[in-house]
Amino acid sequence: MNTTIPKLPFIIKPFLLSLLLSLTVLIFIALQTPHHRKTTPQQPDSTISSKSGGGLRIRPGYSSYDEYIQRQLNKTLNPKLRQIWTTRDWERKVRVFAQFFESLKRRNLLLNSSKALSIGARVGQEVAALKSIGVNDSIGIDLAPYPPLVVKGDFHAQLFMNGTFDFEFSNVFDHALYPWKFVGEIERTLKPGGVCAIHVALSRRADKYSANDLYSVGPLVELFKDSKLVEVRKVDGFGLDTEVVFRKNKRRNI
């Protein structure tokens, strides 16, 4: 049997060679080019599931970090709303926050001598509440300042030194685009043995300015890698229904 391969016409040979070369170059370029995401980088999967039930879902839709910040500020800096928050709403909110903090004091989780931080404090009703019950060394942070109660700061990158506070409170976990940074910064700025109380909504979805949805306390507990869960209890706090309290470990291991 004649097994000789038919000779290719002499024009095809260089053509095939150059095709092969071009393909190799294309594959090489494709492997080198970083694949940019359209959105700001998040954890590999934006749904963080929990061993202990429901997950934590990061809301999609922000094309950049600036867009997220701007959206938050649009509401926080609204002059009409600020007028209401600082007048009509003021006393009722300070009174309700003071009840939460008194309750934490009764459980020895907050002391008059505690250095306290309120995260996402807006116009500072919760800071005023802390001061009103005797926790005088209290301050709030928010994207927009409201002196003297609230200083400007992003909770994804707190402006405080490691181990600054004995107590941190927040009812804005749902506004965190990067919940793991939100919690990491709390654990960084808490003193060893310090306490963090967080109010979250589990039974209903939070507002349209939220950046994540939490379906159970499990994912929150998993984010607090250097703390122990102290307690979980039902509360009625301006649309938020659950208080979760953590104590940072005495010896740092993060």
**Chain positions contacting ligand SAM, by CB under 6 A:** 72, 76, 120-122, 125-126, 141-143, 154-156, 171-172, 175, 238
Between 50 and 174, CB nearer to ligand SAM? 174
Q: How many whole angstroms separate alpha carbon 231 and alpha carbon 220?
A: 13
User: Which residues contact residue 6 at a Cβ distance below 8 angstroms, ignoring those fewer than 6 apart?
Assistant: none
Minimum CB separation from ligand SAM for residue 172, in Å?
4
Got the DSSP string for 115-140? -EEEET-TTTHHHHHHHHTT--SEEE
Minimum CB separation from ligand SAM for residue 169, in Å?
9
Between 49 and 86, CB nearer to ligand SAM? 86
Minimum CB separation from ligand SAM for residue 154, in Å?
4
Between 50 and 125, CB nearer to ligand SAM? 125
Minimum CB separation from ligand SAM for residue 116, in Å?
14
What does the block give as tokens for 58? Answer: 């990061």
HSE (side-chain half, CA atoms, 13 Å) at 99: 9
Between 131 and 175, CB nearer to ligand SAM? 175
Q: At what angle do helices 79-86 and 90-106 cross, to 10 degrees?
A: 60
